[in-house]
Each structure stands twice: as C-alpha cells, then as structure tokens.
C-alpha cells in the first residue's frame, strides 16, 4: 500500500477499519484519516439477534445521519454550505451517538466477547476518524462507492495471475484506479486514457496534475485528443 500512496501523499485517506491504514497514517502525520460509517453499522447488525432493542437505537441514529445527508445532496449545496449544514444538523446526532455508545459500555452488563461490546468499542476507538466528515464536506459517510469500484478486482482475480510480477500487478492497480476515478467523475475512461496518452509527451512535466481526471475534466474534456484509429 505504501508504494501506491507514496511517502509524499498529503490529504485525506478514506478507508475501512483495516489496521494497515492506521499504521501507515501513524507514520505520515500530514494525512487525515476518515473512516466508514457503514462498517461501524455492520458491527451493530452482527449484534442484532442478541440485543435487538439496543441495536435498534443505534441503527436509528445512524439512519438519521443518512437521511440528513440525502437532504444535503438534494439541495445541491456547495462545500461551505455542506460543511455548515453537517455541523448544524449532523454533529448533534454524532455527539448523541458517541455518548450513547459510551453509556452502553458503562452499564457493565456486556461480556468481553459480546458482539454489541465489540460494536460499541469499534465506534469509540474510531471516533476521531468517524468525525472527519463533519469538517471536510468532500468526505462521504461511507466507502460503499469505493467497494463497488473494487468489486471487479476479486471477480477477475484469475485474470490478474497473468500480471506475472508485482510491478505488473501494481500497474493493473493504477489503471483500475484511473478507470474507477473516471467513472466517479462521469468521464468516459477510453476518452480520458486516449487523450492522456496522446497528450502526455507534449504536456509540461511541471503541470502533470492537470492530467488527473478531476482537472482534466475542467481543462481538456470539451476538446479531447482522439486516436486516429477511432476516426476510421
């Protein structure tokens, strides 16, 4: 993973609770770590059979966060308005949820191996990471969109055997990441990759960021370079 993120990466990393991400970020203090609300929700689902009433309370608070997010998206808010709305409407729900989780742990009626205790501890131990979205409007509530984008990888795992080397596998990961990013920006991956490959040898190295999908969309999408083969 470190070879992919590189040591000079700065920004916000959105992930599940996999410990490798945490250990990486501990070595890179300039990275903000945001985690997925759905993964914490799944922990409560696992405890639902044994503790239906308590889990119902937890799921109701999480559902409130999602309903508020739907309202924000429906309004088409800009980043500033989105952040203000989250702080006004979502933060009290997050505060109440964390307080509720701590109260449940303080009752001392849960055995150490209880699935509900595990769910509560999951939230408490990741409170900081789960709060990042309140301050950063571009951070989503969960990583579901990323998991959907990664689904072709396990589905095609036998094909990836023919990468032959770790370098080949790393390049496949890079291409897959580019394609998934294009889809998130509603860019045709073929158009983007063709344009970048044709443009790159004449593009200033100091402005390589312009060829990332987000900036490419702003600067080149209206008049992309096209392959001669596509014109035949």
Instruction: Quick: pLDDT tens for 169-183.
Output: 788 888 888 888 888
- For 131-140, write each residue's pLDDT tens digit: 999 999 999 9
pLDDT reading at 5 higher than 80: no
Q: What is the pLDDT of residue 128?
A: 93
What's the rounded mean pLDDT across residues 75-101?
93
pLDDT mean across residues, the chain = 86
Distance CA 210, CA 205 (A): 10
Q: What is the pLDDT of residue 8?
A: 64
Banded model confidence at residue 75, pLDDT cuts 50, 70, 90: confident
Name the residue among 184, 212, 186 with its Cα closest to residue 199. 212
To 10 degrees, what angle do helices 37-46 and 115-125 make?
A: 160
Q: What is the pLDDT of residue 177?
A: 83
User: CA neighbours within 13 Å on the CB side: how many for 174?
Assistant: 13
Q: What is the pLDDT of residue 147?
A: 77
What's the rounded mean pLDDT across residues 35-56?
94
What's the rounded mean pLDDT across residues 104-126?
93
Higher-confidence residue of 97 and 172: namely 97
Q: What is the pLDDT of residue 151?
A: 73
Give, in degrees to the nearest 5, the angle at Cα 176 between 170 and 182: 140
Q: What is the pLDDT of residue 4?
A: 52
What's the rounded mean pLDDT across residues 66-70?
94
pLDDT reading at 121 higher than 90: yes
């Amino acid at each position: 993973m470190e070879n992919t993120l590189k040591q000079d990466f700065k920004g916000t990393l959105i992930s599940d609770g996999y410990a490798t991400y945490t250990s990486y970020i501990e070595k890179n203090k300039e990275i903000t770590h945001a985690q997925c609300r759905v993964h914490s929700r799944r922990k409560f689902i696992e405890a639902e059979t044994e503790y239906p009433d308590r889990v119902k309370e937890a799921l109701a608070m999480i559902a409130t966060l999602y309903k508020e997010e739907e309202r924000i998206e429906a309004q088409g808010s800009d980043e500033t308005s989105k952040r203000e709305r989250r702080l006004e409407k979502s933060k009290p729900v997050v505060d109440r949820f964390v307080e509720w989780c701590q109260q449940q742990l303080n009752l001392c009626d849960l055995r150490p191996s209880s699935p509900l205790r595990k769910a509560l501890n999951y939230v408490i131990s990741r409170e900081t990471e789960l709060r990042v979205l309140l301050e950063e409007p571009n951070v989503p509530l969960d990583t579901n969109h990323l998991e959907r984008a990664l689904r072709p990888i396990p589905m095609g795992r036998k094909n990836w055997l023919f990468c032959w080397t770790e370098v080949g596998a790393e390049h496949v990961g890079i291409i897959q990441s580019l394609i998934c990013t294009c889809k998130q920006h509603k860019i045709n991956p073929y158009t983007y990759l063709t344009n970048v490959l044709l443009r790159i040898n004449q593009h200033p190295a100091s402005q390589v960021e312009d060829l990332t999908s987000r900036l490419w969309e702003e600067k080149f999408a209206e008049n992309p370079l096209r392959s001669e083969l596509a014109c035949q």
